[in-house]
Amino acid sequence: MQITESITCPFCGQSFELVIDTSVPSQCFTTDCEICCRPFEVVAESEPGEILSLDVRAN
Ligand SMILES: [Zn+2]
Domain count of the fold of the chain: 1
Q: How far is the CA of 11 from the centre of ligand 1 (A)?
A: 5
Report how far ligand 1's centroid is from the alpha carbon of 56 (Å): 12
Model pTM score: 0.88
pLDDT of residue 44: 98
Q: Per-residue confidence at 59, pLDDT binned at 50, 70, 90?
A: confident
Answer yes or no: is pLDDT of 56 > 90.
yes
12: alpha, beta or left? (left if phi > 0; alpha if psi -120 to 50): alpha
**What backbone phi and psi angles, to 5 degrees, belong to 34?**
-70, -20
3, pLDDT greater than 90: yes
CA of 17 to the centre of ligand 1 (A): 12
Say how many Å lie between the CA of residue 44 and the centre of ligand 1: 19
Domain that includes residue 52, residue range: 2-58
- Cα 46 from chain centroid? 11
Residue pLDDT, tens place only, 11-55: 999 999 999 999 999 999 999 999 999 999 999 999 999 999 999
